[in-house]
Chains A and B, each alone.
Chain A
Amino acid sequence: MSNTLYFILCGLLSVSVLFGISLMVKVKTAVAGNFINATSLFLGIVITMIHNNIFSVWSTFLFMMAGIIIGSTLSLRVKMIQMPQYVALFNGIGGLASALVGVLSFLGIGTTESNYPNFIKVTSFLAVSIGLITLTGSLVAAGKLHKLFSQKPVKWKFHSEILNICLLILMAVTFGISFADVIPYGIIILLIVSVFVSSLFGGAFAIRVGGADMPITISLLNSLSGVAGAIAGMAVNDLMLVSVGGIVGASGLFLTQIMCKSMNRSLREILIGNTSVVGKKPTDKMNHATDVLETNAETNVSVVELRRNELTNNCDSSAKHSIKETIITSRVAVKSDPGEILNSAKSVIIVPGYGMALAQAQHLVRELSDEMEANGAEVKFAIHPVAGRMPGHMNVLLAEVDVPYEKLYEMDSVNDQFASTDLVIVVGANDVINPAAREAADTPIYGMPVLNVDHAKVIFICNYDLNPGYAGVDNPLYTRSNGVHLFLGDANDSLNEIIGKLHQL
């Protein structure tokens, strides 16, 4: 195949990938878009093999078959609930592949002569570093999401210093690479250094990211896996690899930006490692704020405990009352009974959060919405962009239980409807509905766009407990005196209770 033809075909395939992505804008065409992407990628492999005249190397097919078998088994067996860690893991595998391509090109194995040896050295070296950062970062993120280790941010001593030193070493080595030939085995030594340093960097970067910051981290790793591929493409002089890698990098960057905007963080903050609220070095003002918050949190816990005692006493006198009802009645002196509200509500907005994913309560959420609709109510779902552990997490879970996507509303399109809605049901969401983000300037989540749940007249909150959410900021909704009904405990129990009340009348 002539070079010109090869370049034209690569260009065409890159365009068809872009076309495939443009089809992913609508649900109806997205399946076709995904199919076009897969086909373009397959054709890319065929063209590359013809171009390099390596069809005769049968071992590549063996490796490919092995990968295809593993990949298809994984994709068939994965459950929707495992999607965040699955995506994280796959980012890492992509990073590993790019890093290995970088290593091969670095060692001059399987490469053709180039007129630009330094460019190849630097790019293959960068591919190794970025690929490995993606790999270890993703493995740590996936481990956290899979609950292999703590979801809380882990902060080492000198954490920022370690990250900075790693970066400095990587930069120094990248610059020094052109002169590596001076020392015997210089290239190999530099390669080994970069392997260790970038692996450490990726792990250290990801380990201090806490649960709710995961959407940002996964998007960023997604972007990095693309960039690693593009740079590996520069190293091995492969046009299609460079362009598609660039597209993936841009897509990840776009998602990262959205996630940052939805959490009111700057991308710069993320890049220098300040990905978690807790990991941030507190200033005096912040310290004060945390103190206040901690006291608040303690009061909250003691309130719950008090109520629990109250409850054990009550239990003897009126055994009929369930734990939750006692809590509700003691907390909110409401005239109307939740069952009445449920049955008279004509418009309902359901706000799901990570708690719904944790409790696997999406089936009951669907049931509740069906029952309410059968009752003549209009049900909408309000989805905060960072609800859950990855971009679009809630949408996927609700799609899994066949909630029509027309009923899923983005924050901006639903936020002014809360005030005119009869009833808002919150299922396992906390920070994303916390009005403190709008009002309390000294809290870490201040400025983060939130769902205006507090504008609603009546709110049912089905959360596990009254503890502050991930950001550690107390939610004033919990202590609002009227219109808020709390259903504490496992979301499934709470939802069953609500559905039960719906049936009562």
Chain B
Amino acid sequence: MNPLYLLFVFIASSILGYLIIKNVPSLLHTPLMSGMNALSGITILGAVTATGLSVSTVNNDKVFIGLLLGGIAIMAAAVNIVGGFGVTHKMLKMFDKKEKIA
């Protein structure tokens, strides 16, 4: 894909994201941060693609490096995603719980 498109997507989504996130009250800043943290695990898409392609491509002499580095990347990103969303959920439940008591 043309790099200019990618740069455009990057800038557009940053601006849109910023405008939306601006409305999050400071009350929820920690869950917001840990939620965003989980989202940064999106890099798993790159890791899965790289690992998958390095294995599935025939006549590839670099399969081992691909599996090793890609595997660590997948694992790290998965930890990030699951841990991040898990803990965000835990925190938000804590805030929401009082809603019912109050």
By a beta-carbon cutoff of 8 Å, the part of chain A in contact with chain B is 14, 17-18, 21-22, 24-25, 27-28, 30-31, 33-35, 37-38, 41, 44-45, 48-49, 52-54, 56-57, 59-60, 63-64, 66-68, 70-72, 74-76, 78, 80, 83, 86-87, 90-91, 93-94, 96-98, 100-101, 103-105, 107, 109-112, 116, 119, 218-219, 222, 225-226, 228-230, 232-255, 258, 383, 385, 390-393, 395-396, 399-400, 402-406, 408, 410
Chain B 63-102: CB-based contact to A (< 8 A → 1; otherwise 0): 0011101111111111111111111111111111111011
For A228, what are the chain B residues with a Cβ–Cβ distance below 8 Å? Answer: 40, 43
A111 to B52, CA, bound (A): 10
**Which one of B24, B36, B51, B54 contacts A63 once the chains associate, using CB atoms below 8 Å?**
B51
Query: Known contacts being A30-B95, A236-B46, is A71 close to B82, with CB within 8 Å?
Result: yes
* Choice from A66, A236, A254, A390 contacting B30 with Cβ under 8 Å: A390
A435 to chain B, nearest CB (A): 22
Complex interface: chain B residues within 8 A of A60 (CB): 48, 51-52, 70-71, 74
The residue in chain A whose Cβ has the minimal distance to the Cβ of B32 is A24
Complex CA gap A22/B18 in Å reads: 11
**Interchain CB contact under 8 A, B1 and A237:** yes
Residue of B nearest to A262 (CB): B26
Distance in angstroms between the alpha carbons of A404 and B14 in the assembled complex: 33
A233: which of B27, B46, B57 is its contact (CB, 8 Å)? Answer: B46
Cβ–Cβ contact A250 & B14, under 8 A: yes
> Of residues 21 to 65 in B, which have CB atoms within 8 Å of A's CB atoms?
21-57, 60, 62, 65
Q: List 27 A-B contacts (CB under 8 A).
A: A14-B13, A18-B20, A21-B24, A24-B28, A37-B35, A37-B38, A37-B85, A38-B85, A48-B45, A54-B53, A57-B56, A80-B94, A94-B77, A100-B76, A101-B47, A110-B51, A219-B33, A233-B42, A233-B46, A247-B21, A248-B42, A251-B21, A251-B33, A258-B29, A395-B29, A395-B30, A400-B94
CB pair A241 B42 closer than 8 Å = yes
User: B44 contacts A97, CB within 8 Å?
Assistant: yes
> When the two chains form the complex, which single residue of A49, A236, A245 contacts B50, counting CB atoms closer than 8 Å?
A236
Residues of B within 8 A of A97 (CB): 41, 43-44, 47, 73-74, 76-77, 80
Residues in A neighbouring B2, C-beta threshold 8 A: 116
- Shortest Cβ distance from A131 into chain B, in angstroms? 8
Q: How far is the CA of A218 from the CA of B87 in the complex (A)?
A: 17
The interface residues of chain A lying within 8 Å CB-to-CB of B29 are 255, 258, 390-392, 395
The answer to whether A18 and B78 touch (CB under 8 A), given A54-B56, A225-B40, A392-B28, is no
Could you say which of B33, B39, B78 contacts A64, with CB atoms under 8 Å apart? B78
Could you tell me the distance in whole angstroms from the C-beta of B20 to the nearest C-beta in chain A?
Answer: 5
Residues of B within 8 A of A83 (CB): 30, 34, 87, 91
Contact partner, B53, options A27, A91, A112, Cβ 8 Å:
A112
Which partner residue on chain B sits nearest A98 by CB separation? B43
A251 engages B74 (CB within 8 Å): no
What is the count of residue pairs linking A and B with beta-carbon distances less than 8 angstroms?
A: 404
* Complex Cα spacing A222 to B21, Å: 14
> Which A residues are CB-close (under 8 A) to B90?
75
Minimum distance in angstroms from A505 CB to a CB of chain B = 29
A94 to B45, CA, bound (A): 12
Once bound together, how far apart are the Cα atoms of A435 and B13, in whole Å? Answer: 41
Q: A72-B82, A107-B65 are in contact. Are A45 and B45 (CB under 8 A)?
A: yes
Contact A110/B66 with A37-B38, A250-B18, A395-B26 known, Cβ cut-off 8 Å: yes
Assess whether B73 is in contact with A104, with CB atoms less than 8 Å apart: yes
- Is B40's CB under 8 angstroms from A24's CB? no
Neighbouring A residues of B36 by C-beta, 8 Å: 222, 226, 247-248, 251-252
Q: How far is the CB of A496 from chain B (nearest CB, A)?
A: 24
In the bound complex, what is the Cα–Cα distance between A105 and B81 (angstroms)? 22
B31 & A109 in contact (Cβ 8 Å cutoff): no
Chain B contacts for A241, CB-based, 8 A: 42-43, 45-46
Task: Give chain B residues whose Cβ lies under 8 Å from the Cβ of A393.
Answer: 30
Q: Check B76–A38 contact: CB distance below 8 A.
A: no
How far in angstroms is the closest Cβ of chain A from B32?
A: 6
Cβ of B50 and Cβ of A72 under 8 Å apart? no
CA distance A222 to B38 in the complex (A): 10
Q: Give the residue of A74, A90, A109, A229 whose beta carbon is less than 8 angstroms from that of B54.
A: A109
